[in-house]
């Protein structure tokens, strides 16, 4: 396959030569380096590449060029290669134009001239952008195929599991593909157990569980060692940050995630308030970066494996996995976060995975292109969901129990929802019933004041209605508050069975010495991504202090 292109554009031959030299030095093995001396010439090059189905990974362009500025060129180039990473080369005086370009052409980065030494000022930026591009744009498909029915909840669960773990697959709906329907019937009986996952080596799995599927696609599901300095339960922002700090500070760290790294944040379509990402970052992207960072420092990661129980055999803390295996450690960090609360509405349960989805369910968005969908919830996650689905659906109806969107939702989201033509907000309504035949077709809404009911045709319902702690596996092991969140530090009861030592519990330490909790699962936590990352990072300081005592 032809190498993807990195295209540099500058009218100054000296600068262009320097860019070309630096790009070739580092990237010529993996990319084709092309140059142009004007925006017009570069557009001509892109048109030729487009005709030949060539791929373009990066556009690196000077802002000041006669005829067409860098931003004007990027604006045109974006129509031809929307996925290419866009970087503007600027002089100090042009930073205003570069900042404006973040919105105008969704600029990915701007670099100040000169960029010497490139090892410090050019390559780290381009490495990061090219890895993001490689994760988004995939070569022609030769991999895993999932054959199932759009209305089979297990087919949805399998798709979602692979998508969240960033494993590419091709989806085949057997209701619309007769040859695959026959293949599936021959493998999985009639009516078939769905989905059937077909692998390039000719093997297949029928309605696999997460751990089985994870093992088959090459994700680690068993620990490499019997013992670790620290084991982290849950791979959301808090757990991933904890793993990065633990491993970077030399601890042997194992992170165990039951589903996919990223946690709740990983389901967000666009996070706009996380420090360092002025144009926002998708949850999937943030998770991918964090996983790469934790692995780079040597943290080990299991996925598709829930932790089902904890016990202590001093000085060891022992973690039991769903497959019955156990791993022991000196320090344990619980970062199991929260889960979306389920809606208790007549008729809804049979449609979960068949038109009703908890959370963002981004893997489903394309299936609802051009259809009408509804979203339940009035907080930020529902607002993000409405904006995300409005890019695919014909119309999105946001169902809110409160009389208005504010103050439950941040102002920036309310403004954006109000400015989006295909989002309709219905306030003061409750979901009374879900109806359909094999999949969701209609919901009944009840007015919160008058009690009057009316129907709403909808192809899908995405539910974002608050969350509950995920602590079932730790019940009876650590002390929790009345709502099931884990007590830490000064909140740990000091009398009775609460705390066994003379010293006070350390910051983030639970009622069991050497067991810590951070992020949303901790009683009193500030349920935000940055807060979870901060707690996960800071908890390692206490882990070190504890390890000095064992
Ligand atoms: C759709 C959505 C959008 C959001 N948008 C924003 C935003 O824009 N800005 C913001 O600041 N916050 C946002 N939030 C809130 C933010 O995502 C959370 O505060 C943050 O993810 C909490 O991180 P955490 O690591 O503590 O827990 P979580 O993210 O909940 O992660 C916990 C992880 O632990 C795993 N786990 C649980 N139990 C077990 C077990 N027994 N064994 C193994 N693994 C287990 C789970 O599968 C999960 O991956 C959003 C939340 C949602 C749902």
| Range 374-390 average pLDDT | 93
Can you tell me the distance from the alpha carbon of 221 to that of 211, in angstroms, rounded to the nearest whole number? 7
Ligand 1 center to 376 CA (angstroms): 19
Can you tell me the distance from the alpha carbon of 336 to that of 360, in angstroms, rounded to the nearest whole number? 19
CA dihedral 300, 306, 311, 312 (to 10 degrees): 10
| Range 96-109 average pLDDT | 83
Residue-level pLDDT at 406: 84
Confidence of residue 103 (pLDDT cuts 50, 70, 90): confident
What pTM, to 2 d.p., does this model score? 0.76
210 CB within 6 A, ligand 1: no
Residue-level pLDDT at 373: 97
Can you tell me the distance from the alpha carbon of 146 to that of 149, in angstroms, rounded to the nearest whole number? 10
Can you tell me the distance from the alpha carbon of 147 to that of 168, in angstroms, rounded to the nearest whole number? 14
Ligand 1 center to 467 CA (angstroms): 10
329 CB within 6 A, ligand 1: no
Atom number in ligand 1 closest to CA 239: 25
Please count the CA atoms within 13 angstroms of the CA of 211 that sit on its side-chain side: 15
Instruction: Tell me which of 9 and 468 has the higher pLDDT.
Output: 9
| Range 59-79 average pLDDT | 93
**To which residue do tokens 């093997």 refer?**
203
The answer to whether the beta carbons of residues 42 and 20 sit under 8 Å apart is no
The answer to whether the beta carbons of residues 447 and 433 sit under 8 Å apart is no
Crossing angle between the packed helical segments 70-80 and 95-104, to the nearest 10 degrees: 20
Can you tell me the distance from the alpha carbon of 54 to that of 47, in angstroms, rounded to the nearest whole number? 10
Residue-level pLDDT at 139: 55
Q: What is the pLDDT of residues 229-243, one digit of tens each?
A: 999 999 999 999 999
Tell me phi and psi for residue 9, to 5 degrees.
-130, 125
Residue-level pLDDT at 138: 58
| 158 has pLDDT over 50 | yes
Tokens of 54: 């060539």
Ligand 1 center to 523 CA (angstroms): 15
Residue-level pLDDT at 142: 59
Tell me phi and psi for residue 254, to 5 degrees.
-125, 130
The answer to whether the beta carbons of residues 86 and 110 sit under 8 Å apart is no
List beta partners, residue 421.
none
Q: Answer left, alpha or beta for residue 308, where phi above 0 means left and psi between -120 and 50 means alpha.
A: alpha
Q: What is the pLDDT of residues 341-351, one digit of tens each?
A: 889 999 999 99
Ligand 1 pocket, mutate which of 294, 304, 337, 488 (most atoms under 8 A from CB):
337
Ligand 1 center to 337 CA (angstroms): 5
For residue 188, the 8-state DSSP code is H
Ligand 1 center to 480 CA (angstroms): 19
Q: What is the pLDDT of residues 13-44, one digit of tens each?
A: 999 999 999 999 999 999 999 999 999 999 99
| 192 has pLDDT over 90 | no
Ligand 1 center to 262 CA (angstroms): 7
Secondary structure element (H or E) that encloses residue 101, with its range: helix 95-104
Residue-level pLDDT at 189: 86
CA-nearest residue for atom 48, ligand 1, is 263
Which stretches within 363-500 are classed as H helix?
A: 380-390, 411-418
* C-alpha of 466 from chain center: 18
Confidence of residue 177 (pLDDT cuts 50, 70, 90): confident
CA-nearest residue for atom 20, ligand 1, is 529
* C-alpha of 304 from chain center: 16
Q: How far apart are the first and last CA of the chain?
A: 55
Ligand 1 pocket, mutate which of 219, 233, 234, 475 (most atoms under 8 A from CB):
234
| 519 has pLDDT over 50 | yes
Q: What is the pLDDT of residues 485-506, one digit of tens each?
A: 999 999 998 876 678 899 999 9
Average pLDDT, the chain: 92
Can you tell me the distance from the alpha carbon of 538 to that of 535, in angstroms, rounded to the nearest whole number? 5
Instruction: Tell me which of 183 and 24 has the higher pLDDT.
Output: 24
Min mean pLDDT across 109-113, 253-257, 296-300 is at 109-113
Can you tell me the distance from the alpha carbon of 435 to that of 351, in angstroms, rounded to the nearest whole number? 9
Residue-level pLDDT at 174: 93
- Cα angle 428, 409, 530 (rounded to 5 degrees) comes to 150
Extended strands (E) in 258-405: 300-303, 307-313, 316-321, 326-334, 338-340, 356-358, 372-376, 395-399
* C-alpha of 47 from chain center: 33
Residue-level pLDDT at 407: 84
Q: Answer left, alpha or beta for residue 356, where phi above 0 means left and psi between -120 and 50 means alpha.
A: beta
Confidence of residue 140 (pLDDT cuts 50, 70, 90): very low
Which stretches within 209-332 are classed as H helix?
A: 210-216, 237-248, 283-296
| Range 190-213 average pLDDT | 91
| Range 450-463 average pLDDT | 96
């Amino acid at each position: 396959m032809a190498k993807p292109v990195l295209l540099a554009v500058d009218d100054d031959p000296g600068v262009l030569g320097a860019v070309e030299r630096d790009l070739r030095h580092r990237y010529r093995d993996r990319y084709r380096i092309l140059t142009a001396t004007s925006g017009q010439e570069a557009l001509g090059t892109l048109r030729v590449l487009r005709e030949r189905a060539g791929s373009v990974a990066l556009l690196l362009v000077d802002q000041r060029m006669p005829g067409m500025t860098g931003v004007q060129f990027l604006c045109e180039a974006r129509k031809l290669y929307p996925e290419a990473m866009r970087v503007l080369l600027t002089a100090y005086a042009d930073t205003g134009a570069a900042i404006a370009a973040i919105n105008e052409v969704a600029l990915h980065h701007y670099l100040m001239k000169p960029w010497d030494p490139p090892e410090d000022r050019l390559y780290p930026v381009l490495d990061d952008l090219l890895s993001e591009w490689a994760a988004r744009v995939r070569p022609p498909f030769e991999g895993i195929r999932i054959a199932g029915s759009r209305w089979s909840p297990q087919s949805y669960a399998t798709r979602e599991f692979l998508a969240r773990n960033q494993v590419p697959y091709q989806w085949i709906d057997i209701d619309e593909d007769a040859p695959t329907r026959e293949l599936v019937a021959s493998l999985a009986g009639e009516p078939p157990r769905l989905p059937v996952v077909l692998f390039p080596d000719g093997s297949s799995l029928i309605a696999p569980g997460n751990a089985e599927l994870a093992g088959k696609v090459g994700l680690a599901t068993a620990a490499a060692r019997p013992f670790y300095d620290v084991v982290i339960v849950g791979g959301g922002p808090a757990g991933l940050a904890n793993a990065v700090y633990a491993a970077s500070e030399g601890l042997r760290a194992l992170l165990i995630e039951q589903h996919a790294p990223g946690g709740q944040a990983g389901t967000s379509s666009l996070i706009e308030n996380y420090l360092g990402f002025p144009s926002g970052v998708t949850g999937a992207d943030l998770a991918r970066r964090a996983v790469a960072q934790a692995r780079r420092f040597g943290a080990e990661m299991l996925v598709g494996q829930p932790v089902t129980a904890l016990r202590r055999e001093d000085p060891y803390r022992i973690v039991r996995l769903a497959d019955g295996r156990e791993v022991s450690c000196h320090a344990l960090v619980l970062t199991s976060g929260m889960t979306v609360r389920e809606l208790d509405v007549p008729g809804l349960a049979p449609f979960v995975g068949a038109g009703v989805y908890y959370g963002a369910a981004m893997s489903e968005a394309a299936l609802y292109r051009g259809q009408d969908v509804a979203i339940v919830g009035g907080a930020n996650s529902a607002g993000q969901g409405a904006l995300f689905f409005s890019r695919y659906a014909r119309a999105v109806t946001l169902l809110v129990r409160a009389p208005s969107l504010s103050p439950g939702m941040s102002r920036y989201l309310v403004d954006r929802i109000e400015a989006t033509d295909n989002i309709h907000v219905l306030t003061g309504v409750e979901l009374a019933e879900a109806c359909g035949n094999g999949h969701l077709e209609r919901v009944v809404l009840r007015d919160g004041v008058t009690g009057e009911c009316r129907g709403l045709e909808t192809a899908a319902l995405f539910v974002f209605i608050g969350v509950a702690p995920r602590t079932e596996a730790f019940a009876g092991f650590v002390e929790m508050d009345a709502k099931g969140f884990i007590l830490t530090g000064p909140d740990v009861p000091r009398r009775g069975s609460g705390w066994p030592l003379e010293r006070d519990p350390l910051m983030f330490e639970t009622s069991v010495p050497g067991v810590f909790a951070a992020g949303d699962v901790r009683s009193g936590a500030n349920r935000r991504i940055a807060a979870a990352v901060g707690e996960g990072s800071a908890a390692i300081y206490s882990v070190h202090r504890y390890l000095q005592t064992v």
